[in-house]
Structure 1
Amino acid sequence: MSDVPERSAVEPVVLERALRDLAVPIALLDGADPHLPVVWVNRAFEVSTGYDAADARRHQRDPVPPGARRPDALLAVREAVRERREVTQTLSLRRADGSVYTCLVHLSPLVDADDRITHWVAALQDLTERISHDAAQSALVAAERRERRALGIVAQVSDLLMDVDDRMTPLHEIATLLCDTIVGWARFYVNDGGLRPADGIDSNHPPSGKGRRHGAPTRSVEPGADTTPGPDAVQMLLDGVKDRPVELPLDGWFPRGSASSWLAAHVHAQGPHELVDGAARAAVFSVSGRRRVLGLLVVLPRAGRGLDGLEQSARTVLELTARRVGLVIDNARLYDREHRLAETLQRAMLPQQADVDGLDVWTYYAPNSENVQVGGDWYDVLQISPDVVGVVIGDVVGHDVEAAAAMGQLRSVVRSYAYDITIPGPVLERVDQLVAGMRIPRSAGLVLSTLTRSGGSWRLDYSRAGHLPVLHVREGEVIALMEGGGPLIGFGGEGRSTQTLALEPGDVLVYYTDGLIERRDRGLREGIDALTEVVGGVTARDSAGIGEEILSRLADHPEDDVAVVVVRVPDPRDHLERGRSPRRRRWSLPSEPSSIGRARHAVVRTCHAWDMPNAANAELVVSELVANAVLHGFGHVSLQLYDTGDGLRIEVEDGNPAPPIATDGHPGRVGGFGIKIVERLADWGWRPSARGKLVWAKVRPGDLPPSAR
């Protein structure tokens, strides 16, 4: 017999009370009526809907607003009632206050002993809170997705801006990126003496700057239209009067010749028809540098409603893009100005290579590219008198403008005293005294030497002030001239000595700075030994060939500025062994018009030294190529000459990657005639290089064509 007490039956009153107090809204529907009228509800139902049983029955068939109707769910409920089975569906119900809410309805039949459905029990679950929570979560997910997309766009813009320069090559790519992601159309405009498209399209009628006319509008005005000029908001943005984005109605009427009028006409002509037709409004963002507005970013939202058509995340992306473009462009221009200033300063302080009577002299200077094209190394070759030549090479500590300024001061002082006193030791003593009084902030070392001609021979006098020794080469034997040494300039209080060496025909002197030989993995002593070995193995019979061979073996990856001077005493036997020369020459020229004449002079001298006929052809080709590099390129110009055995190969390198273009007779195209001349005289081509581009030409043998003279 079981010990579990027998449970008593639950009284109906208790069941009714339990259902009435249940927290879940419950309604009992009459199963005998096909319309299932409500016959009973519990308290939770009354609280949730505001209806008691009578009110619920009376308003049971009230329609809900069309937007809240769920016809598929109602159809499923009717189908389940007809099939006498349970059903659960999401329905929209109306409360007593007229509001509509969403709830989950579970409908179950009550069957009597005769298998008849007497009632249906409807249990309701209010989904309002869950839907609100889901909507909030969806909104958060959408916001996070927009933020991620915005960050991705900004990151891509940053990647594109890594290659920006003053010519703004990546701006078209950035505008394309914006079009592909957040706006319908985008373009950058440059404020550089007036507005113009940054990619150079449609620049036939560019505006001419602040306070000047920008050309008349090109769009016609409908009869009866309001022609009252609106404010020139674009000019206010360019002038810095406004610092927030502005809207530009493309169908607006602006003052004649205003920036807004010109820009609206340009955007109307260039933008997609589906965006510019009607009452489209462009959004204009300023591209600002540190001190002025450099340009504009103009976009057409896909909705065509100006700033109102942009989501906040899209607007943030556009503002960040415009700001970053402005700062990067400003930095690029500032760097370019400093770079050109430093390079001009450095080149101005170095002498132009010139012929020295009775000696074969070759000079070379290259700053370390990491040091903004400026440093403290220098050289000087002085024709003091017809029979006296001075050669100086020195190095000021540092790689900045201050070092270059100190170098310029020292060079001027040494030059002045060398013309007055031709003995190196006393010259350096005077320099010591003056430098101590001038308080030059940088220490410096140098070698000063004079070569004096007496009859048919030369004598070398030299003195060193804390600088590396000159190498003397005779018949393949290399000797470092260690004598005549002393402390750095400004520290020589006990006088300077002068050493003398008689030179013979064929002797070579190599002056250099530490950038040629010093590396992180070796010291100066090892560097001098390496240079000695290279110089001893040189086979060239002229100073340029010797210098080029030294550079090819030692100056491929310099870690500092490099200055080299090679002086050779001519030997009457040179013409017998000229074939031993490597037949390669190189010059580094500043990007200025005077370099064209220097290049012409250099190629003529080289052709004569190599016994190459028809130097006039090569001179004209070099003149045209260097002129193109100076006029259309940027950065210093590299000129190289090669004797290929069947002609002269010329290579000119500059920092502009754009290829040279020959004129094709187009009336609007300027320039390109020089390439036509080159085509008459040589086979030519070009290729990209690490710095920009390299244009080469191989001069054909033969006389100069009459049409090219």
Structure 2
Amino acid sequence: MTEMSPSPAGLLPVSADHLTAALAATGVPTFITGEWSAGMPVLWVNAAFERFTGMTVEDLAVLGPNALLALVDDDPEREPAQVDLVAGRSMRRIVGMRARDGRTSWLQIDVTPLPSDDGGAHHWVGMATDVSEYVDRQAAQLASLEVERQQRADLDLIAQTTELLGDLEYPLALRDIADLLRSLVPWASFYLNDDGLQHADGVDVASPPSGRGRRHARYVPAPPGEPSTGPGDAVEGGETLAGDHVQDLLDGLVDGPVRLDLGATYPPFSASGWLSRDLRHRVVEETGAIPRSVVVHAVAGRRRVLGLVVTWHGDAQGEPPATAPAPEGEHVVTVVEVVARRAGTAIDNARLYAREHRLAEALQRAMLPEQADVTGLDVWTYYAPNAEHAQVGGDWYDLLQIADGTVGLVIGDVVGHDVEAAAAMGQLRSVVRAYAYELTHPATVLDRVDQLVTGMRVPRPASLVYATLEHRVEDDTWALDYTRAGHLPPLLLREGTVRLLSGAGGPLVGFGADPRAVSREELRRGDVLLFYTDGLIERRDRSLKVGLDTLVDISARITARDSAGVGEELLARLADAPEDDVAIVVVRVPDPATDDQVTALSPRSRRWLLPSEPASIGRARHAVLRTCQAWGLPDSAAAELVVSELVANGVLHGWGNIALRLYDTGEGLRIEVEDANPAPPVATDGHPNRLGGFGMQIVERLADWGWRPAGSGKLVWARLRAT
């Protein structure tokens, strides 16, 4: 009688035959095996197992011991599974199983030992659940996450590259970008086409913005009719020469990227030949591998290709060449292409900006006013354009030594501070200069300027003050005649009082229908004249009248006894953050009787802008003597000698305007001279067979000195030693 399983009340009992029939009929592949020590022979499988694997018990018996393991693909968890089976414990694993038709499915295998009287695992029952859809979905999710991770990494690399390209003055910018690319490929580097291909760690922004330089000579192929091995190749002495595809890339004949075979023979003097030779040496030196081929991308500017990005993807000699990027390398090619494109745009922009900057500096040197050497007067001038990108604006001044004892002075302001304002300023400056030397008298000069400007149709309105100072030898006094064309009134500072010279007013330049008026002032010793443009006092948060009242109040409290000191006090209190162009001219009539008696409490700094001409050496000596006198500093003779040598070096070896600055550090006078020549000064033992060359030796004897880069040139400093 068949044993019956207990069942709930009211239900038919379940027999062992029922359980056996259920296992045989279930759609879940099921099997029973023997014990592990016998090789777990398969004793029984159900129909679902046979349908899934295509194998019967007899087929599995042919496979020998552990026949089920033979159906399972290599599984990293096979060893832990065997440990569980040997120990007689239940085991669950997800494995890939190969069917007879060769297809592989993912199965979740559950194997459980059947109970026995002695407690041993003599028989095992197993079930296999098809989880291929779940595994495939999980694999797709993991692949999607990997793609997203790679995209994030690529975007991060491009962002870092963009940041490096933002500062191409850093000399190793391209090298650092190549190092970033080496997170994608074994090796990468930049080459720029500056006077021929050159390996580049950084960018020389002074190179021509087009990138055009000396070309590598293109090989001339054989004449028509002679044998040729194919497009782009040539034959020389029976040897096949590969086409110069790198030169095609540089010339913009192909978009790229191109693959360069480093083992091929290229035409003499070709870009491909030079690059392949350089790469074989460079990659071997840096990686120790002998590359077979590289991928070359163009670094393109707006109009021309500026250089190349070369990447090595790891193929070495002895390996078959790759005909196309591997699927996993396609994103690498895309990222390198983006980096190359951004690098080309950044390099082109940097070089165009550098060219514009050089043009602006040339314009500045040509148009900035120069201070004349005025005998008998202490003169200080200052000019600063508000726009940082434009080195010259619409404000200007001029001091002209018209004749012995006669000085012309003009200060003006063209509306705006852009290139058009600068151009209008240049026109007016030339006109006023020409008439000042010819006519001298302020009213006559301005009348003629009105007539000419009306005919010239200068696009911007302008204001100015034109004045002459005449020296009377008989009583050593000065007389001031001036006229104003819509400009702010000059100031007269006399013994602690300030007076606006508001006479002789009139309309803007070019709008004077009636003859211009002239006012006269008799100047005394110690008097100070202040000419300025509205940038000194104009602010958005206050009216021009309030700014003018502030200027008068500050001028009344000035303690300086020299024109440079007066100017420095005004700048310190009014022009720390100007909102417009600023031009200032300070003229002081010296007073020998009182100048040496009082040490002023003005700012202990001075500045001058001098033209690069020999006369500036004398003006610099005069400036330092006046400063030492105003500050009560000893050793003015040593300071005069040091300033003379430094400014002379700037005049002889530099170019552009020379900036002279003096500082009282409390421990000695500090002198700074800046010019546009970046070459450092060198102390020599003199020039062979001729005089001179000992200037820096003199400076070394009297002062501690050094230098540093400044702008497009250099700054040389010297601090006088205390005696």
Match of 1:233 among 245, 248, 268: 245
Deviation at 1:111, TM superposition (A): 4.8
Match of 1:439 among 434, 439, 457: 457
Match of 2:442 among 416, 420, 424: 424
1:509-658 aligned within 5 A: 509-573=529-593, 576-577=596-597, 579-580=599-600, 584-588=605-609, 595=612, 597=614, 599-609=616-626, 610=628, 612-613=636-637, 615-624=640-649, 630=654, 638-642=659-663, 648-653=669-674
Deviation at 1:601, TM superposition (A): 3.3
Name the CA distance, whole Å, in 1 between partners of 2:201 and 2:120. 83
Name the CA distance, whole Å, in 2 between partners of 1:231 and 1:362. 67
Provide closer, same or farther for how the CA distance between residues 515 and 278 of structure 1 changes in structure 2, counting only shifts above 3 A.
Answer: same
The letter for the 2-side match of 1:622 is: V
Match of 1:506 among 526, 541, 553: 526
Provide closer, same or farther for how the CA distance between residues 92 and 414 of structure 1 changes in structure 2, counting only shifts above 3 A.
Answer: closer
Name the CA distance, whole Å, in 1 between partners of 2:684 and 2:281. 29
In the other structure, the counterpart of 1:706 is none
Matched, 1:270 2:275: no
C-alpha deviations, 1:631-673, integer Å up to 9, x for none?
Answer: 7xxx9753213467986532134689x89475899xxxxxx99
The letter for the 2-side match of 1:288 is: A
In the other structure, the counterpart of 1:668 is none
Name the CA distance, whole Å, in 2 between partners of 1:66 and 1:213. 64
Name the CA distance, whole Å, in 2 between partners of 1:570 and 1:67. 107
Residues 645 and 695 in structure 2, CA contact (< 8 A), matched pair in contact too: no
Deviation at 1:147, TM superposition (A): 1.4
- Residues 556-565 or 310-319, more deviating: 310-319
Matched, 1:89 2:101: no
Name the CA distance, whole Å, in 1 between partners of 2:341 and 2:720. 50
C-alpha deviations, 1:307-349, integer Å up to 9, x for none?
Answer: 8488333333322222222222222222222223223223312
Residues 250 and 276 in structure 1, CA contact (< 8 A), matched pair in contact too: no
The letter for the 1-side match of 2:450 is: D
Name the CA distance, whole Å, in 1 between partners of 2:334 and 2:682. 45
Deviation at 1:403, TM superposition (A): 0.8
Provide closer, same or farther for how the CA distance between residues 303 and 661 of structure 1 changes in structure 2, counting only shifts above 3 A.
Answer: farther
In the other structure, the counterpart of 2:507 is 487
Match of 1:132 among 125, 131, 136: 136
Residues 406 and 442 in structure 1, CA contact (< 8 A), matched pair in contact too: yes
Residues 391 and 450 in structure 1, CA contact (< 8 A), matched pair in contact too: yes
The letter for the 2-side match of 1:140 is: S
Q: Give SS of 2:612's match.
A: helix
Q: Give SS of 1:548's match.
A: helix
RMSD: 4.1
The letter for the 1-side match of 2:596 is: L
Provide closer, same or farther for how the CA distance between residues 625 and 15 of structure 1 changes in structure 2, counting only shifts above 3 A.
Answer: same
In the other structure, the counterpart of 1:217 is none
C-alpha deviations, 1:352-377, integer Å up to 9, x for none?
Answer: 22212443322221212534223111
Name the CA distance, whole Å, in 2 between partners of 1:466 and 1:514. 12
Name the CA distance, whole Å, in 2 between partners of 1:208 and 1:287. 13
The letter for the 1-side match of 2:659 is: S
TM-score with structure 1 setting the length: 0.81
Provide closer, same or farther for how the CA distance between residues 98 and 274 of structure 1 changes in structure 2, counting only shifts above 3 A.
Answer: farther
Name the CA distance, whole Å, in 2 between partners of 1:621 and 1:646. 20
Name the CA distance, whole Å, in 2 between partners of 1:45 and 1:522. 94
Matched, 1:175 2:178: yes
Name the CA distance, whole Å, in 1 between partners of 2:136 and 2:485. 85
The letter for the 2-side match of 1:244 is: G
Provide closer, same or farther for how the CA distance between residues 486 and 243 of structure 1 changes in structure 2, counting only shifts above 3 A.
Answer: same
Gapped regions of structure 1 (runs ≥ 5): 202-206, 215-224, 666-671, 703-709
Q: Give SS of 1:271's match.
A: helix
Name the CA distance, whole Å, in 2 between partners of 1:690 and 1:308. 46
Matched, 1:151 2:155: yes
The letter for the 2-side match of 1:431 is: V
The letter for the 1-side match of 2:559 is: T
- Residues 598-607 or 282-291, more deviating: 598-607
Q: Give SS of 2:388's match.
A: helix
Report % sequence identity.
48
Name the CA distance, whole Å, in 1 between partners of 2:175 and 2:450. 58
- Residues 286-295 or 452-461, more deviating: 452-461
Residues 447 and 516 in structure 2, CA contact (< 8 A), matched pair in contact too: yes
Name the CA distance, whole Å, in 1 between partners of 2:27 and 2:681. 86
In the other structure, the counterpart of 1:343 is 361
Name the CA distance, whole Å, in 1 between partners of 2:291 and 2:720. 62
C-alpha deviations, 1:155-198, integer Å up to 9, x for none?
Answer: 22222222223x7552333333334x233333333322223333
TM-score with structure 2 setting the length: 0.80
Q: Give SS of 2:455's match.
A: helix
The letter for the 2-side match of 1:9 is: P
Provide closer, same or farther for how the CA distance between residues 209 and 492 of structure 1 changes in structure 2, counting only shifts above 3 A.
Answer: closer
Name the CA distance, whole Å, in 2 between partners of 1:692 and 1:536. 39
Match of 2:49 among 26, 45, 51: 45
The letter for the 1-side match of 2:54 is: G
1:161-560 aligned within 5 A: 161-165=165-169, 168-179=171-182, 181-199=183-201, 209-212=213-216, 228-273=240-285, 275=287, 277-302=289-314, 308=325, 311-455=329-473, 456-560=476-580
Provide closer, same or farther for how the CA distance between residues 492 and 638 of structure 1 changes in structure 2, counting only shifts above 3 A.
Answer: same
The letter for the 1-side match of 2:705 is: W
- Residues 266-275 or 125-134, more deviating: 266-275
C-alpha deviations, 1:473-493, integer Å up to 9, x for none?
Answer: 112211111222233223334
Residues 493 and 528 in structure 2, CA contact (< 8 A), matched pair in contact too: yes
Deviation at 1:463, TM superposition (A): 1.9
Residues 280 and 290 in structure 2, CA contact (< 8 A), matched pair in contact too: no
Name the CA distance, whole Å, in 2 between partners of 1:329 and 1:394. 39
Residues 466 and 485 in structure 1, CA contact (< 8 A), matched pair in contact too: yes
- Residues 117-126 or 280-289, more deviating: 117-126
In the other structure, the counterpart of 1:121 is 125
Deviation at 1:37, TM superposition (A): 4.7
Deviation at 1:604, TM superposition (A): 2.3
Provide closer, same or farther for how the CA distance between residues 38 and 442 of structure 1 changes in structure 2, counting only shifts above 3 A.
Answer: same
Provide closer, same or farther for how the CA distance between residues 608 and 30 of structure 1 changes in structure 2, counting only shifts above 3 A.
Answer: closer
